[in-house]
Amino acid sequence: MKVRDHKSFVRFWTASTTSNFGTYITTIALQVLVVVNMGGSAVDVGWVSASRWLPYVLLGLIAGVLVDRFHLKTVLVVTDMGRGIIFAFICLFAVTGVLSIGWLMILLLLFGAMSLFNDAAHQSFVPQLVPRPLLTRAYARLEQSAAVAETSGPAIGGGLVSWIGAPFALLIDAVSYLFSGVLIATVKHQPSDKVKAGPLGQQIKEGLQWVYQHQYLRTLALNTHAWFFFHSMTMTVLVSFFLIELGFDASLLGFALAAAGVGAVAGTSLSSRVGERFGIGRAMAFSRILYAPAVVLITLAPAAINSDPQNIAIIFAVVGQLLYGFSMGIEGPLEMGYRQFVTPSHLQGRMNATLRSINRSAVVIGAPLGGAIADGLGFLTALSISIAGLGLCGLWFSLSTMRKAQIKEDEI
């Protein structure tokens, strides 16, 4: 049986894809809003990015326990609706001229809190829609849709920002969240047993023990935390690097960022086959090795601008983004499928929230740090540090026991 035969999953897949398109439009709109409309610096971009993820630091482990206690569909619907309303307010405040970096950070804190609960519920909801043997393929479909959104979303976002302005482009994302919430409300599923309420500390401890004492999840978690730190530095610096150092406008920025989506489409299309052929651990190790060379290619763009027309610089930026997205496309479905497969249903929310909260904690530190280094020492210095970090993550993963990980019944 194929994942497309599960109608509830198809509805969920459609809702997820819709909100993903809006999210990638927002990726452009928010950062253009900060840098262009509000005259912000790379540090401002870093702080705005960090504010979105701060709730993962403060509430992440608690969210995992709470999500395991509630009906996941309710959590998904309420948080999607809430996020749509928040982006509508950001648009309103920006248009009326009362939006400041401080207000934007406050609104994104609220957005991040809702995203935290939505993310934990979203990842835990899939096992209620498809059988476990189909999890990897289900996540591959979700990642493929996200990759398509990543491919076209930034390009559409860049065009929308140029056409209607960053504030109204954010309103598109608001509509996508509201539509997603309505569609998920119609999904029929088989809910898992809710976790009985108990001591909060004990339930958090159970989630932590499962993640950090598991033979393979421990290495996967620790390596991914480090990867997110350097990834957040890279992504924070890249936007300002493209806009300021390379002189890209919103349309060119969208084009460059969309290249990562094209790579991700290719990666997710091959992900399941690569995992089956070489093993999940080895396939993920291969992906993590590719990130550093991808960023190296992007750092070559300024040299091209100094000696050749700007379109040569765009080629370096696009090829680097393609390789970066390809790496994420390969490993994304494999990582998610593996994590969900080996984790019992009563620990799904806590496992997902534990990993996401620590990963986003790394973003809260890495994003503003990357912006500060870029402002103080230059874009290329900041990117060189992130290249070194991503390279070490790839080497560590390749030499660890995680490279032997497989989806087997005896690992549950």
* Residue closest to 22 by CA, chosen among 82, 90, 87: 87
124 has a pLDDT exceeding 80? no
Whether 401 is in a domain gets the answer yes
Residues 2-39 have pLDDT tens digits of 666 677 888 888 888 888 777 777 777 887 888 777 77
* Total tally of structural domains belonging to the chain: 1
Asked if 143 and 333 touch (Cβ cutoff 8 Å), the reply is: yes
392 has a pLDDT exceeding 90? yes
Domain that holds residue 80: 3-186+200-411
Residue 410 is predicted with a pLDDT of 41
Q: Could you tell me the two tokens for 121? A: 């519920």
Q: Could you tell me the two tokens for 131? A: 């059988």
Whether 191 is in a domain gets the answer no
How far apart, in whole angstroms, are the C-alpha atoms of residue 398 and residue 252?
35
Other CB atoms within a 10 A radius of the CB of residue 98 amount to: 9
Which whole number is the average pLDDT over 162-187? 86
Between 411 and 135, the more confident residue is 135
Whether 194 is in a domain gets the answer no
Whether 192 is in a domain gets the answer no
Whether 204 is in a domain gets the answer yes
Whether 404 is in a domain gets the answer yes
Asked if 359 and 61 touch (Cβ cutoff 8 Å), the reply is: no
How far apart, in whole angstroms, are the C-alpha atoms of residue 278 and residue 274?
6
Give the pLDDT band (50/70/90) at residue 195. low
Which whole number is the average pLDDT over 137-158? 71
Radius of gyration of the chain (CA): 20
Residues 206-263 have pLDDT tens digits of 778 888 888 788 888 999 999 999 998 998 888 778 877 777 776 777 777 778 878 8
**Cα angle at 106 between 103 and 111, to 5 degrees?**
125
Quote the DSSP letter at residue 128.
Answer: G
Whether 91 is in a domain gets the answer yes
Whether 73 is in a domain gets the answer yes
How far apart, in whole angstroms, are the C-alpha atoms of residue 253 and residue 313?
12
What residues contact 303, with CB distance under 8 A and at least 6 apart? none
Residues 293-315 have pLDDT tens digits of 999 988 887 655 554 555 677 78
Residues 330-369 have pLDDT tens digits of 888 888 878 877 788 777 777 877 887 788 788 878 888 8
What is the CATH number for 211?
Answer: 1.20.1250.20
User: Taking the complete model, does pTM exceed 0.75, yes or no?
Assistant: no
